[in-house]
Chain A
Amino acid sequence: MLKIANGRVYDPANGLEGVLKDVFVERGRVVEPPPQSDEWEVLDAAGLYVTPGAIDIHTHIAGPKVTSGRILRPEDHYGHPVPRTGFSRSGTGHTIPTISVTGNRYAAMGYTTVFEASIAPLKARHLHEEFHDLPLVDKGCYVLMGNNYFVMKGVAQGQKALLQEYTGWLLQAAGGYAIKVVNPGGVEGWKWNSEKVQLDTPVPPFNVTPRQILLALAEANEGLGLPHALHVHANDIGRAGNCTTLLETMKALEGRRAHFTHIQFHSYGITKKGGFRSGAEPIAGFLNEHPEFTVDVGQVMFGPATAMTADSPLQFRLRGLTGNKWSNADVEMESGSGVVPLVYRRNNLVNAVQWATGLELLLLIGDPWRVFITTDHPNGGPFTCYPRVIRLLMEPGFRREVLEGLSPRARRLTSLASLDRAYTFQEVIIATRAGPARALGLATKGHLGVGADADVTIYRPQGDVEEMFQRPAYVLKGGQVVAREGEAVAGGEGRTLLAGVNGCERLPGSLRAEFEAYYSVRLDNYPVEPEYIPCREVIACG
């Protein structure tokens, strides 16, 4: 029984903005103010800002691709050792920290729930094993389906009901929370050495197009009533002029629920000479008119990063652009993935435009309930950059200062210099927890109303915004203080959030023969056994 007393509560979902109010916590939940609270333990929050715990809607922190990155990059770890303490494991790493360091850093920064954005079901056991070693935060994962053999075949044959049953089964088999699409058809195309795949390019072996795959999965997603929308990483990432592809993709899904991820990497225009420029304006304009869509930005920050996605062709392209080492892992019947080390530099024109494009999107999209702050960790930079991103949004002066340090050419290729908007504290709280919770369909997260999880982040207001967000005074997980002043002070494992799909316990019978013929494992050995997810919370489908 804990009373968080005298803080200023920022709880946008319940319409509170800096209201002086006590928050009562019992058995891990926020409860009604009791008639008498003399006996309650008090956490004195006088002068502090009380907010719901933050949620990362899109990050890459665990699983085969991330660990492949860790193996690939010892140089990311050498200079970043973390000693063990009485309650936490030791570790290493900057852009791809070890799993225990990852959980502790997130929690210390006020994040209490995180979503690993891509897992190929065949390797999902690895992710859940690793999740078991992730301390403090609640977590979930998105299951890759945009290049899946059975999905593409189902689309080709127009078997909607079968497709829905299959996607539901696959989600369960992998222990997932949402359906993820990465470069639909494009990864399969890569495996056939096809040229670049656009929204209407037919892809072997079934000659279906990315548009058809997206529509079919969006429908299946709705049919299953999943808590989160279809989570889309569009085709054509990273190329000059790709904002038209994103626009076309959004138009294709108009009127449906969809979340478009790391849209900064998909919002590039093209100059007359074929050069790189920002394409943020048309994207933001479109999104402002379409309340059915949510997005996260995938902000790029200057400094080291590690590019890692299921988008194999992109990673190979990055190898060519940077000359850096490259790992790739094609996964039979399902997916691909790749990893390439990167550094974003201020004096690189493309990097400077990328940086500005992300901020333009965050500033031009008006509704903070639908645009979320991410770096697509570790693709645009590590998640530990979030406080700096927030400062860039809250302080136009600071933003201008950084912008002026970039080359004048880069400035001309974006509209950032003309944007004066400053995020309010409340807007930051919306874009980092209230909004993501709503987009994810998490009724007990992202707010502090009665019945909410007692995941609470308490900030000390101060002039230095970055410091404030880097080191919250207190972070509570399930009512327990797990971090203080930017340091984790407790151990323990959070829950794994699963989508509660109904009635898809078995792979549809008509698919079994092909499964056994083309997978290298038996169907019996494919679904992740319940033992791997001992600490689970099932979120019901609507």
Chain B
Amino acid sequence: MPVIESVVCTFCGSLCDDLRVTVEQNRVLKVGGACALGRQKVFHDCEPTAVWSVEGMVVDMGTAMEEAARVLSSARFPLVYGLSTVSTEAQREAVALAELLGGTVDTTSSHCHGPSTMARQQAGLPTCTLGEVRNRADLIIFWGCNPMESSPRHLARYSAMAKGSAVTGRGQRRVVVVDVRPTPTAKAADEFIQIDAGRDYEAFTLLRSLIQGKAVPEDVTTTGSAGVPFERWARLAALMKGCRYGVAFFGMGLTMSGGREANLELLLTTVAELNAFTRFYAIPMRGHSNVAGSENVLAWLTGYPFAVNFSRGYPRYGPGEFTVVDLLERGDVDACLVVGADPAAHLPRRCVKHLESIPVVLVDPHVTLTTPLARVTIPVAAGGVGAEGTFYRMDNVPLRAAALVESRLPTDEEVIRTIRERITRAQDR
């Protein structure tokens, strides 16, 4: 049976590229090498469930496209939103469409790792690729993230358990988890530090002082910090300073808890300063398959990583202003193209309420929670299964995902380009 080797899994930001997929007569029979999430994704994406529809009525492709173009071009404040699970080819088209419309483009980043990106703009981001973690890291910290559940093969392929060139296995690494609850990742660690929710900033302040060799006030040495005894922080600080190549992965436990970008700014500053003593890097543990790509594409096209508005004919950056949650909450948006996201499932209720009141064009392979509120639904071939395309791993390594089966549906890229071309033609007329 024909087996496709070295298949890239486009479910999570780990983009494992070693799957073996058995395909016969355009059907996937077996998915080898993936975790359960990845395997399920491939099978699920073989059979897109969405249909061409306008106002709940099944229509032909042309009618849906026409209505999508009409809805978006007649809006005064259109929003293009999502982009975290589609190819960079589609993302590039989406930015071009937002530019043409004089609208706004924002990604799921803004309510996920947006704060880490803003912290990066303040403090910088000392980082490395996942292969460096595998080859060299003798200290790995997972802070506010739980890859055992979100990215199940991460530990085996890239981090804790991986075998590398200089660090050859688990025995040569220390693994520390800092989280508010004992997670499966914490169980796989050498040390688990259970921190009080929302007190990360305090912990970083202490760690930074300890690493810098500054005096710590007595009340802290006696009562500890963030609900953790002082000695444990002192030991962690010593580990960080004493390792040869340390890497801190951080997740939404930090970006979405109190302090947000301030947490990250302090983490990134501490990591930068550690490089006076040793090598130390930080990697945002990004969830979706191509959310890293979306930041890159937006940055090379507009200069900004998310929350970009084109109403003046050039890109303007506005976290808090042009970010999806704020735009929908304020009710600014009067039409929305959703591609590569499921806002009804992930955005606050009040945002979804506004989406219900405006025309939404949904481009997605599947029926999702957003489908019922969409005026137009456009089915597409899923990237990495029915369509090929480029995806950026959480460490910004770009990979090409091939199509495994032939799809009768267009790709996200083609759909967005077609909508854009229709609008351009109409404007020229």
Contacts and interface: CB of A to CB of B under 8 A. Distances in A.
B390 A129 contact: yes
A520 interface: yes
B303 A70 contact: yes
B244 interface: yes
Interface stretch (A87-95, A210-218, A232-240, A472-480): A87-95
Interface string B299-327: 11111110000101111110000000000
Interface in B167-218: none
Contacts of B166: 205
Interface of A: 62, 64, 66-68, 70-74, 76-78, 81-84, 89-93, 96-100, 122-123, 125-126, 129-130, 133, 149, 190-193, 205, 316, 319-320, 325-333, 339-340, 517-525, 529, 531
A325 B313 contact: no
Given A74-B303, A191-B279, A327 B312 contact: no
Interface string B118-135: 001111111111111011
B375 interface: no
Interface stretch (B55-63, B348-356, B392-400): B392-400
A319 B398 contact: no
B125 A327 contact: yes
Contact of A74 (B92, B129, B276, B317): B317
A67 B398 contact: no
B404 to A, nearest CB: 14
29 contacts: A62-B300, A64-B396, A70-B299, A71-B299, A71-B305, A72-B120, A77-B317, A81-B312, A89-B96, A98-B299, A98-B302, A99-B300, A99-B301, A125-B399, A190-B279, A191-B136, A193-B279, A328-B275, A330-B127, A330-B279, A332-B130, A332-B131, A518-B165, A520-B129, A520-B131, A521-B131, A521-B397, A522-B5, A529-B400
A325 B120 CA distance: 9
B53 interface: no
Contacts of B18: 522
Q: Which of A70, A76, A100, A340 has the most CB of B within 10 A?
A: A70
Contact of B303 (A91, A205, A327): A91
Given A89-B99, A91-B301, A74 B390 contact: no
Interface string B100-141: 000000000000000001001111111111111011100000
Contacts of B132: 191, 330-332
A346 to B, nearest CB: 27
A523 B148 CA distance: 26
Contacts of A130: 300
Interface in B1-44: 5-6, 8, 17-18
A35 B122 CA distance: 65
Contacts of B117: 71
Given A66-B300, A77-B303, A98-B301, 13 more contacts: A68-B125, A83-B313, A90-B314, A91-B301, A91-B303, A100-B301, A316-B275, A329-B127, A330-B281, A332-B132, A332-B134, A520-B397, A521-B17
Given A77-B303, A91-B302, A100-B301, A326 B313 contact: no
B129 A90 contact: no
A94 B66 CA distance: 39
Nearest to B125: A327
Contacts of A525: 6, 8, 17, 399-400
Nearest to A336: B128
Contacts of A521: 17, 131, 397, 399
A17 B18 CA distance: 60
B129 A92 contact: no
Interface stretch (B156-164, B335-343, B407-415): B156-164
Interface in B370-396: 390, 392, 396
Contacts of B314: 81-84, 90-92
Nearest to B162: A520
Contacts of A531: 400
A122 B398 CA distance: 8
A99 B134 CA distance: 33
Contacts of B126: 326-328
B298 to A, nearest CB: 9
Given A71-B295, A327-B125, A122 B397 contact: yes
B272 interface: yes
Given A133-B300, A333-B131, A74 B399 contact: no
A114 to B, nearest CB: 15
A81 B315 contact: yes
A74 B318 CA distance: 11
A124 B330 CA distance: 41
Given A81-B312, A525-B6, A326 B272 contact: yes
Contacts of A96: 303
Given A72-B120, A123-B396, A521-B17, A328 B313 contact: no
A72 B121 contact: yes
Task: Report the 7 A-B pairs with minimum CB-CB distance, sorted nearest first.
Answer: A332-B131, A520-B131, A330-B128, A77-B303, A524-B6, A92-B303, A325-B124
A133 B121 CA distance: 24
B4 to A, nearest CB: 10
Nearest to A128: B398
B73 interface: no
Given A99-B300, A518-B165, A90 B281 contact: no
Contact of B163 (A66, A328, A517): A517
